[in-house]
Amino acid sequence: MTGDTDPKEAGLATGRSYGTGRTEGVSDAIFAVSLTLLILDVKPPEGGAAELVHGLVKLAPKLLTFALSFSIVAYYWLVHHLIFASMRGVKIGLIWANLLFLAMIVVLPFSTAVLGRYPLEPAALAVYGANLAACTLTLAGTWFVADRMDLIEHLAGQRRYILRRFAFQSLFALGGIACSFVAPALGLAIFVAFPIFYALTYRRTYY
């Protein structure tokens, strides 16, 4: 009987802490649905075969914003996965904080559709940037709640590294919003650079 017990669950049988399995399962399901919904705004071009190329060219902004948002959601999933992999369990406060983060992820298909239809409109860029900032801040809040509840197994230097990355991510998004009203193309370029920069600079050993 003892051999079948998950070590991560063993210390959570009493008290008000719970295993991470169900929270991670719900989170993964919401990420999967959000990734799928991103493509729904990209519909095949209408008209005959002679108009196909022209129709695909007109779809380019939506296809590009789909690719951008897919990579961003995938990045958030990866960070979320790595954070939860280091947790000893979850508590009610952490579950609510995680649900708030997931609510921001669910909004991304909407902000992606807005940006796809109006790629260089300041308001559309601002909506998208605000969504990214909200995702980053609520994920940071989830990590902070877990840290305060002493549910995360830390490595040396991990706190400073994670806080620094969350701060830079927020500044990235806010900078993109600010640029959107002055130079929309630059604001869009900042959002495109967002997943590329963080994919290239993250340090696996600190998660």
Q: What is the pLDDT of residues 110-139, one digit of tens each?
A: 999 999 999 899 999 999 999 999 999 999
CA quadruple 165, 139, 113, 55: dihedral sign: positive
Nearest to 37 by CA among 118, 112, 94, 114: 112
- Residues in the chain where the model's pLDDT stays below 50: 1-5, 7-15, 205-207
Write down the pLDDT at residue 123.
95
Write down the pLDDT at residue 204.
53
Nearest to 113 by CA among 65, 71, 67: 65
Write down the pLDDT at residue 160.
80
Determine whether 179 is exposed, middle or buried from the number of CB atoms within 10 Å of its CB (0-12, 13-18, 19+).
buried
87-111 burial, b at 16+ Cβ within 10 Å, e below that, comes to: bbbbbeebbebbebbbebbeebbeb
d(CA 128, CA 124): 6
Residue 4's identity, in one-letter code, is: D
CB 120 within 8 A of CB 185: yes
Write down the pLDDT at residue 10.
45
Write down the pLDDT at residue 1.
44
Write down the pLDDT at residue 11.
44
Helix (H/G/I), strand (E/B), else coil: 20: coil
CB 187 within 8 A of CB 118: no
Write down the pLDDT at residue 16.
65
> Secondary structure of the chain: what % helix, strand, coil (to 5)?
75, 0, 20
